[in-house]
Amino acid sequence: MPYKSLIRTIPDYPEAGVMFRDITTLLQDPFGFRKAVDELVQPHAGVRIDAVAGIEARGFILGGAVAHQLSVGFVPVRKKGKLPWDTIGEDYELEYGTDRVEIHRDAVESGSQILLVDDLIATGGTAEAAIKLIQQAGADVIGCSFVIDLPDLGGRARIEEMGLKVLTLCEFEGE
């Protein structure tokens, strides 16, 4: 599947020099969207997965569809202050400062196996924080799935160094 042809690139967004990879065009294509979800699900057929965790915001769309296909629950990994109940969180470094991701304290059960899903892996900082957060809650992350890898930014290697398998559907050079 030529995913790259279904993903719009927006130059200089959100700042000069950044090439934003916009999956909304992939989501609008019925065949492309279905194929992407199928390819994010297939490698996990027969593997025990108790829930899919999706990182805000495009990870919600993809992760929800993957969870549906796997017949498991969905865990939203949100930015600080977005969840309405008792939360646990994990801070992570940004280029200028820090940010935080959170889940509800009761989002995962101890010992459960979680698949992490998002649209894109860049530096891996948000994904690493989500993994640590899920582990802090007592669950195990069994793998991470993304539509896009930006290999020049090293995120995939960062997650693989944590001992996790990373699945991506396509790569883009640069940032």
Are the CB atoms for 85 and 102 separated by under 8 Å?
no
pLDDT at 97: 79
Does residue 11 have a cis bond before it (omega within 30 degrees)?
no
- DSSP code of 4? G
Q: How confident is the model at residue 96 (pLDDT cuts 50, 70, 90)?
A: confident
Terminal-to-terminal C-alpha distance of the chain = 22
**Distance of alpha carbon 13 from alpha carbon 16, whole angstroms:** 6
Strands lying side by side in the sheet with 113-121: 87-94, 97-104, 73-79, 51-55, 113-121, 140-149, 166-171
- The domains located in the chain, with CATH, are 40-171 (3.40.50.2020)
Residues labelled as active-site residues = 58, 95
40-53 per-position pLDDT tens digit: 999 998 999 999 99
**Distance of alpha carbon 60 from alpha carbon 153, whole angstroms:** 23
Placement of tokens 């279905």 in the chain? 34
% of the chain exceeding 70 in pLDDT: 99
118-159 per-position pLDDT tens digit: 999 999 999 999 999 999 999 999 999 999 999 999 999 999
The full DSSP string for 88-117 is EEEEEEETTEEEEEEEETTSS-TT-EEEEE
pLDDT at 69: 97
Q: How confident is the model at residue 164 (pLDDT cuts 50, 70, 90)?
A: very high
Q: Is the pLDDT of residue 33 over 70?
A: yes
Q: What is the pTM of this model?
A: 0.96
